Chain A
Amino acid sequence: MDDEIEVSSLTVHYETIAALIDINVKIKKGAMTAIIGPNGAGKSTFVKAILNLTKKTSGVVSFFGKSFEEMKDNIAYVCQTKEVDWGFPITVREVILMGSYARANLFGKYCQKDLKKCELLLVKFGLFDKRNALISELSGGQRQRLFIARAYMQEAQIYIFDEPMAFVDFTTSEMIIESMKELRDSGHTVICVHHNLDEVKKEFDEAILLSHHLVDAGPVHEVLRKKNLVNAYQAKDSILTDAFILSKEKECGLV
């Protein structure tokens, strides 16, 4: 109980569209868990719903026996880079330091220790030359590394990544996987939405396979069985979601 993130009967609708239907799953503490599934299967929605960023239709999530509000300060979430405005007037250094804002004083002044840590992270993620540049000057890979550096700065227990490998170069994706492993090895819980099954097989411990509903969850080699994958990726009929949509539409008086 206290060493799991427990998701029970989680259902999420976007207006009338059922994105996730009755997900019951446990995520192990201190493991690296990949969330996989075809495009539009609700992977990002799943992550957002457990983080209260999307409204849940129903369901309860507990983090090591505590509620989200209680654990909020111990969770670092790395969103997809396309979700923020990259034309915003803010420098690379400022974004990384944001991670330690919870420890800053009322005026937003950061302490010496955090400033020093920021310098180290700038070097670690290859952003030192760009530290005073505006974020609009960064490439796709650098943007992702920037967000991961910010998450490091948060010193959280749980790290949640949403498709960090999308649109990044080879060096960056290597760097990301290494830092995830590093986090796991130092006892943190890592959850990552991922689309590359080969990499999941190679690097991750656990997997959750979603296709609007939970197809399977558990150790990677068990989840990535052919039967499951056929079920998730090749099932052509969409009757499951269609029926749920129809039910919701009738309920709202739309049809």
Chain B
Amino acid sequence: MIKSFFSDLYMLLSDPTYSVSVIGSILSCISLSWIGVIYSLRKSALVAEVIAHSAFPGIILGAFVGIYIGADEKWMSMLFILGAITTAYLSMKKLTFLQEKWHKSADSSLMISISAFLGIGVLLASIIQSVSPMVYKDVVIFLYGRTATMLYFHLIIYAVVMVILFIFILVFHRRIQIFEFDKTFASFLGIGRLLDTFILMMTLVVVILGLRSCGILLLSGMMATPAIASRFWVRKMSSMFILSSAFAAISALLGGYLSLYLGGEGIVLPTGPVITIVSASITFFSILVGIRGGVVLRMVRRMSFTIRCHEENILKALYKKNDKMAFREIMEFLQAGVILFFFVLLRVRKKVKILHGWSLELKEQGRVYAERIIRLHRLWEVYLYEVGFAKGRIHVFAEEIEHVLTDEMEEMLLKRLGNPTHCPHRQKIPEKKEACNESV
């Protein structure tokens, strides 16, 4: 099955009719994903939505001009691009005007731009339908995208744009990072304005070229998803660029493949939706299992923290009792089930001795550990009491905080409190580890 999948992919890439469309969509999706990384850092992915939607009336205006001068297929698609860039640029200008001059909020300005331009586009489209149904068919493919309509010369344009964008990012990645992180600082360096303009221009071009593969309605999804997915795997900006382009390429390739083979005999599914679905699945998967804050990772961390709290509570209990404790007694004390207790036991095993008759006794290592927890607990109590918490309330909070205090925080507490010897409940605070080693 896997073998046939790869041979199908090979077929797809070597077949002259399909290879153009697949490679074309890979190229444009990669460019889109790079732009997407920049906008995700800027937290304004919706800009792509504005560009895509407001390109529609431009495409149709281009078509009108094309019909008027009797352009051929190549010229027609150049006119589409030109028209699209014009209206998209106008709409971006309108957007900044609304935001800066009229002080409209970001999302209302976006909504006004998106709906006004798309509305005009749909209106014009219905006119062109009656003028020339042929051209109308060419125009509406931009709504959802259809890679099969790509020609060899599109490929060249995509490749050129991708290379330009690649060089731009390679040379200016530090500049981009500074500008997106701290605009104020960038303005002092005087690197803001030109960079911003260039990014906007590249965005216009890349988004409009991407329309053929993803379509107006789905494009911003294609732009945003690889960047979001990459955030769950890597931590550096440069790695984000690399990984998201890989995700984009996989989406485009797999999307092209699936749209061809899922439809069955003779039916080709529209590529735009399939590519976006693949990309969204990658993102969903990343959110789930990503190693940088994915859902599964967080669950594991939470479990591990719970187990650690229980471990520390056992050690504390053993220390205070100064005697062995039976399993049953401990389970009751922790209010833990058998399974949880098993994991806690696994974790605590090096710090305690497991005696015959299912009970636990503290080892030296465990004693030191327990003393640390008790020290942190009482230090925290001293601190809370000093800042004005009622004496009756502090124990509960200390039970919680004792598990999370770091060495650094302990140091700060000691400095602030001046090495207290007793907690507010008049119990002795165990001394630090070095001191207790001496006493042994």
* Residue from the set B43, B235, B240 with the largest chain A CB neighbour count within 10 Å: B235
Q: Is the CB of A77 within 8 A of B188?
A: yes
- Taken residue by residue from 229 to 258, chain B's Cβ proximity to chain A (1 for < 8 Å, 0 otherwise) reads as 001000111001000000000000000000
Q: Is A245 an interface residue (CB 8 A)?
A: no
Contact (A106, B171) CB under 8 Å given A72-B190, A89-B236, A98-B185: yes
**Prevailing SS type, chain B contact patch:** helix
Measured CB to CB, the nearest residue on chain B to A69 is: B190
Contact (A88, B180) CB under 8 Å given A107-B171, A108-B174, A169-B412: yes
Q: Is A115 an interface residue (CB 8 A)?
A: no
Q: Is the CB of A101 within 8 A of B235?
A: no
Minimal beta-carbon separation of B297 from chain A (angstroms) = 16
Minimal beta-carbon separation of B214 from chain A (angstroms) = 26
**Total interface residues in chain A, CB < 8 Å:** 28
- Taken residue by residue from 221 to 233, chain A's Cβ proximity to chain B (1 for < 8 Å, 0 otherwise) reads as 0000000000000
Q: Is the CB of B237 within 8 A of A89?
A: yes
With a CB–CB cut-off of 8 A, which chain B residues contact A83? 184
* Residue from the set B43, B188, B190, B235 with the largest chain A CB neighbour count within 10 Å: B188
The distance in angstroms between the C-alpha atoms of A134 and B234, with both chains bound, is: 11
Q: Is A84 an interface residue (CB 8 A)?
A: yes
The distance in angstroms between the C-alpha atoms of A102 and B189, with both chains bound, is: 7
| Interface size range of chain B in the complex | 20 to 34
Contact (A134, B412) CB under 8 Å given A83-B184, A90-B181: no
Picked from A73, A75, A98, the residue with its CB within 8 Å of the CB of B178 is: A98
Minimal beta-carbon separation of B103 from chain A (angstroms) = 6
The distance in angstroms between the C-alpha atoms of A132 and B177, with both chains bound, is: 16
- Taken residue by residue from 53 to 81, chain A's Cβ proximity to chain B (1 for < 8 Å, 0 otherwise) reads as 10000000000000000001101010100
Q: Is the CB of B182 within 8 A of A101?
A: no
Minimal beta-carbon separation of A175 from chain B (angstroms) = 14
Ordered by A's residue number, 27 sampled pairs between the chains whose C-beta atoms are within 8 Å are: A53-B187, A73-B188, A77-B184, A77-B185, A79-B182, A79-B185, A84-B181, A84-B182, A85-B43, A88-B41, A88-B181, A89-B236, A90-B181, A90-B237, A91-B236, A95-B181, A98-B178, A98-B185, A101-B189, A101-B191, A102-B189, A104-B174, A106-B171, A107-B171, A108-B174, A169-B412, A171-B412
With a CB–CB cut-off of 8 A, which chain B residues contact A88? 41, 180-181
Measured CB to CB, the nearest residue on chain A to B170 is: A107
Q: A85-B43, A107-B174 are in contact. List 7 more A-B contacts (CB 8 A).
A: A77-B188, A83-B184, A88-B41, A89-B237, A101-B178, A101-B189, A150-B185
With a CB–CB cut-off of 8 A, which chain A residues contact B178? 98, 101
With a CB–CB cut-off of 8 A, which chain A residues contact B103? 15
Q: Is the CB of B188 within 8 A of A89?
A: no
Q: Is the CB of B43 within 8 A of A90?
A: no
Q: Is B173 an interface residue (CB 8 A)?
A: yes
In A26-69, which residues have CB < 8 Å from any B CB?
A: 53
Q: Is A155 an interface residue (CB 8 A)?
A: no
Q: Is the CB of A79 within 8 A of B184?
A: yes
With a CB–CB cut-off of 8 A, which chain A residues contact B173? 108
Ranked nearest first, the 10 interchain pairs of A and B with the lowest CB-CB distance are A108-B174, A88-B181, A89-B237, A84-B182, A98-B178, A90-B181, A79-B184, A134-B235, A89-B235, A101-B189
Q: Is B175 an interface residue (CB 8 A)?
A: yes
The distance in angstroms between the C-alpha atoms of A53 and B412, with both chains bound, is: 38
The distance in angstroms between the C-alpha atoms of A15 and B172, with both chains bound, is: 36
The distance in angstroms between the C-alpha atoms of A72 and B187, with both chains bound, is: 9
With a CB–CB cut-off of 8 A, which chain B residues contact A106? 171
With a CB–CB cut-off of 8 A, which chain B residues contact A75? 188
- Taken residue by residue from 11 to 54, chain B's Cβ proximity to chain A (1 for < 8 Å, 0 otherwise) reads as 00000000000000000000000000000010100000000000
Minimal beta-carbon separation of B249 from chain A (angstroms) = 21
Q: Is A94 an interface residue (CB 8 A)?
A: yes
Measured CB to CB, the nearest residue on chain B to A106 is: B171
With a CB–CB cut-off of 8 A, which chain A residues contact B190? 72
The distance in angstroms between the C-alpha atoms of A3 and B128, with both chains bound, is: 69
With a CB–CB cut-off of 8 A, which chain B residues contact A101? 174-175, 178, 189, 191
The distance in angstroms between the C-alpha atoms of A98 and B173, with both chains bound, is: 12
With a CB–CB cut-off of 8 A, which chain B residues contact A171? 412
With a CB–CB cut-off of 8 A, which chain A residues contact B180? 88
The distance in angstroms between the C-alpha atoms of A73 and B189, with both chains bound, is: 7
The distance in angstroms between the C-alpha atoms of A107 and B103, with both chains bound, is: 37
Minimal beta-carbon separation of A253 from chain B (angstroms) = 14
Measured CB to CB, the nearest residue on chain B to A15 is: B103
With a CB–CB cut-off of 8 A, which chain A residues contact B41? 88-89
The distance in angstroms between the C-alpha atoms of A101 and B187, with both chains bound, is: 12
- Taken residue by residue from 362 to 382, chain B's Cβ proximity to chain A (1 for < 8 Å, 0 otherwise) reads as 000000000000000000000
Minimal beta-carbon separation of A82 from chain B (angstroms) = 12
The distance in angstroms between the C-alpha atoms of A108 and B189, with both chains bound, is: 13
Measured CB to CB, the nearest residue on chain A to B43 is: A85
The distance in angstroms between the C-alpha atoms of A79 and B183, with both chains bound, is: 11
In A5-38, which residues have CB < 8 Å from any B CB?
A: 15
Q: Is the CB of A90 within 8 A of B177?
A: yes
Minimal beta-carbon separation of B132 from chain A (angstroms) = 48
Measured CB to CB, the nearest residue on chain A to B175 is: A108
Measured CB to CB, the nearest residue on chain A to B172 is: A108
In A129-159, which residues have CB < 8 Å from any B CB?
A: 134, 150
The distance in angstroms between the C-alpha atoms of A171 and B181, with both chains bound, is: 27
Minimal beta-carbon separation of A84 from chain B (angstroms) = 5
